[in-house]
C-alpha cells in the first residue's frame, strides 16, 4: 500500500521536510535482460497499439486470456514494427491472474520488457502462494508499486520527441478468488496526469492510477480491454460465423443459460474470439495466453513466460527537474519529487529526468539520467555493467574519469568518452553528487 508520510531528510546540507511516498513489500527478484532489439524498427520510442485482453466468467470459474503481439506506430499512425513475443498474462497467486494492455505494457527498446519484468519480479512465474496473491492485495500492489514504476517509465518516455503523450497509458485486468471463495474482477487504468511537469524545455508526463472496475461475479459476465470490438460483437450474438464454440455460446445466449456453460466451453469460446479477432485486427496476434481458474479445482495455465528480462528502472526516487539535487539548498524549487523505499533492498538509486547538473562529479554506476543537462561536470565510471544514461542527455564542457584497468566499457560510456576528455589532474575536484542512504529515522545524502 502507498502512504504519504511527512519525513525528515538530511542531504548533507540542512534538514528539510518533504512528502515521502513509502512503498512496502516490493520484491527484488530480477531476471537477465532480453537485449535483442525489435525487428523492423529503429530504437526510437514509437507508441504501441493493439492487444486484446478478455475475461469470461460464470458459476463454474473464470477464463482470462491475452495475445502476445506488440505493435509500434510513429506519430503519424504508420506501423514501424510488430513482434509476437510479449507476455501479457501473469499468475499473481494460486487462484488469481492479471492481464495488461497499453503502451506502458510494452514500450520500445530498451524498455520493452520493463513492465513485464516488474510483474515477474513481484509475482514470479508461479504467483505468490500466500495472501499477497489475493485479488484485493494484488490490486493494491498494482495501484501503488506498479503505479510508481509506470510513473518513472512515463517520465522517461516523455523526454523523447517520438512519443505521443496521449498514448502513455496501461490497463490492468485482475481476476481471482478471494479468501471467502468469491470471484473478484478489478480493472485499474493508468493514465497521464491532466498537466505535465515542464522542465528543461520538455513536457514531462506522469501517470496516475484509478480503479475503473470493481465487481464480485455472481453469474455469467465478460470483461475486455484493448481492441474488443469483435469480442463484444460475438458476446452480444451479433457476429456471423460457423465456429462451433461460438455457435454453442449463441445457443446458450438465446436460452439464457450462459451461466450453465462448462468452463471448458468458455475457454473454447475465448480461443474462438481470439481467432476471429486475429483475422481482422492486425494489432492482435501471436500465441494466445490463457488461464482457466475453476471455482473448485486446480487452475490450468497456458502462458508465454519471458525467459530473459530485467528491471531497468529501480531505486528509491524519481526527480523531475531541479538544479543540483541534494546539493543546492533550494534545489526542490520547481522540481517534482517522489520517494519510494523497497524494504527488501537498500538500493537508493534515483531516476533523474530533465534535471540540471552543474560543477558536480556524476557517478555513472549509480542512478538513472534522462533528458538532463550536465554543465562543467565530471562523469565517474567505476565498472558497473549496466549504465542508465539516455542518449537525450546534453553535456556541456564535461569530463570523463574511468577507473584504471577497465577493459570493457558499456556503449553509454564509450559514447561519453568520444566527447568528454579526461579530467585535468590540476583541476579542482568537483563535489560528488550525494548518494541517498537509509538511516534509522531519516534518509541522508552524502553516503559515498
Percentage of the chain beyond pLDDT 90 is 60
Mean pLDDT rounded to a whole number for the chain: 83
Nearest one of 161, 151, 162 to 197, comparing CA atoms: 151
347 pLDDT tier (thresholds 50, 70, 90): low
DSSP string, 293-305: EESSS--EEE---
CATH 3.60.20.10 fits 31-302, yes or no: yes
Reported as type and span, the H/E element at residue 394 is: strand 394-396
Confidence of residue 229 (pLDDT cuts 50, 70, 90): very high
| 397: its cell numbers | 564542457
- Whether 152 shows a pLDDT value over 70: the answer reads yes
Mean pLDDT, rounded, for 37-61? 64
H/E run at residue 381: strand 378-381
pLDDT band (50, 70, 90) for residue 439: low
Task: Specify the 3-state DSSP secondary structure of 248.
Answer: helix
Asked if 353 and 372 touch (Cβ cutoff 8 Å), the reply is yes
pLDDT higher than threshold 50 for residue 312: yes
- Indicate the pTM of the whole model: 0.83
pLDDT of residue 12 exceeding 50, the answer is: no
Q: Residue 34's pLDDT is what? A: 27
**Running DSSP on this structure, what letter comes out for residue 128?**
B
CA distance 394 to 349: 21
Which cell numbers hold the place of 248?
Answer: 454453442
Instruction: Say yes or no to pLDDT of 393 above 60.
Output: yes
Domain with CATH 3.60.20.10 in the chain: 31-302
Amino acid at each position: 500500500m502507498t502512504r504519504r508520510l511527512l519525513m525528515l531528510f538530511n542531504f548533507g546540507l540542512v534538514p528539510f521536510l518533504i512528502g515521502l511516498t513509502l512503498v512496502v513489500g516490493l520484491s527484488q527478484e530480477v531476471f537477465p535482460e532480453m537485449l535483442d532489439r525489435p525487428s523492423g524498427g529503429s530504437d526510437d520510442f514509437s507508441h504501441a497499439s493493439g492487444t486484446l485482453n478478455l475475461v469470461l466468467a460464470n458459476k463454474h470459474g473464470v477464463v482470462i486470456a491475452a495475445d502476445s503481439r506488440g505493435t509500434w506506430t510513429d506519430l503519424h499512425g504508420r506501423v514501424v514494427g510488430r513482434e509476437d513475443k510479449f507476455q501479457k498474462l501473469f499468475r499473481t497467486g494460486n487462484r488469481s491472474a492479471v492481464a495488461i494492455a497499453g503502451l506502458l505494457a510494452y514500450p520500445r527498446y530498451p524498455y520493452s520488457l520493463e513492465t513485464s519484468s516488474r510483474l515477474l519480479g513481484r509475482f514470479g512465474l508461479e504467483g505468490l502462494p500466500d495472501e499477497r496473491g489475493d485479488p484485493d492485495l494484488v490490486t493494491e500492489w498494482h495501484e501503488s508499486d506498479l503505479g510508481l514504476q509506470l510513473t518513472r517509465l512515463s517520465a522517461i518516455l516523455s523526454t523523447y520527441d517520438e512519443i505521443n503523450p496521449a498514448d502513455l497509458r496501461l490497463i490492468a485486468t485482475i481476476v481471482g478468488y478471494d479468501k471467502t471463495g468469491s470471484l473478484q474482477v478489478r480493472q485499474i487504468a493508468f493514465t497521464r496526469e491532466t498537466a505535465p511537469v515542464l522542465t528543461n524545455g520538455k513536457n514531462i508526463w506522469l501517470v496516475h492510477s484509478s480503479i475503473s472496475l470493481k465487481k464480485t461475479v455472481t453469474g455469467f459476465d465478460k470483461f475486455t480491454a484493448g481492441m474488443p470490438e469483435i469480442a463484444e460483437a460475438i458476446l452480444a450474438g451479433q457476429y456471423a460465423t460457423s465456429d462451433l464454440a461460438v455457435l454453442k455460446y449463441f445457443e446458450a445466449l438465446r436460452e439464457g443459460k450462459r451461466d450453465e456453460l462448462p468452463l471448458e466451453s468458455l475457454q473454447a469460446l475465448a480461443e474462438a474470439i481470439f481467432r476471429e479477432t486475429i483475422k481482422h485486427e492486425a494489432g492482435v496476434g501471436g500465441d494466445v495466453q490463457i488461464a482457466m481458474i475453476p471455482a473448485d479445482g486446480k487452475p490450468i495455465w497456458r502462458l508465454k513466460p519471458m525467459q530473459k528480462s530485467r528491471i531497468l528502472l529501480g531505486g528509491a526516487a524519481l526527480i523531475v527537474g531541479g538544479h543540483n539535487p541534494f546539493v543546492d539548498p533550494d534545489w526542490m524549487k520547481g522540481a517534482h519529487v517522489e520517494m519510494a523505499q523497497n524494504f527488501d533492498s537498500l538500493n537508493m538509486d534515483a531516476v533523474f529526468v530533465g534535471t540540471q547538473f552543474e560543477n558536480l562529479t556524476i557517478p555513472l554506476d549509480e542512478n538513472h539520467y534522462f533528458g538532463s543537462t550536465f554543465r562543467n561536470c565530471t562523469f565517474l565510471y567505476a565498472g558497473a555493467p549496466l549504465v542508465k544514461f539516455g542518449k537525450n542527455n546534453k553535456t556541456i564542457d564535461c569530463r570523463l574519469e574511468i577507473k584504471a584497468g577497465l577493459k570493457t566499457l558499456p556503449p553509454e560510456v564509450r559514447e561519453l568518452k568520444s566527447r568528454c576528455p579526461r579530467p585535468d589532474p590540476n583541476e579542482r575536484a568537483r563535489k560528488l553528487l550525494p548518494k541517498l542512504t537509509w538511516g534509522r529515522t531519516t534518509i541522508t545524502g552524502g553516503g559515498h
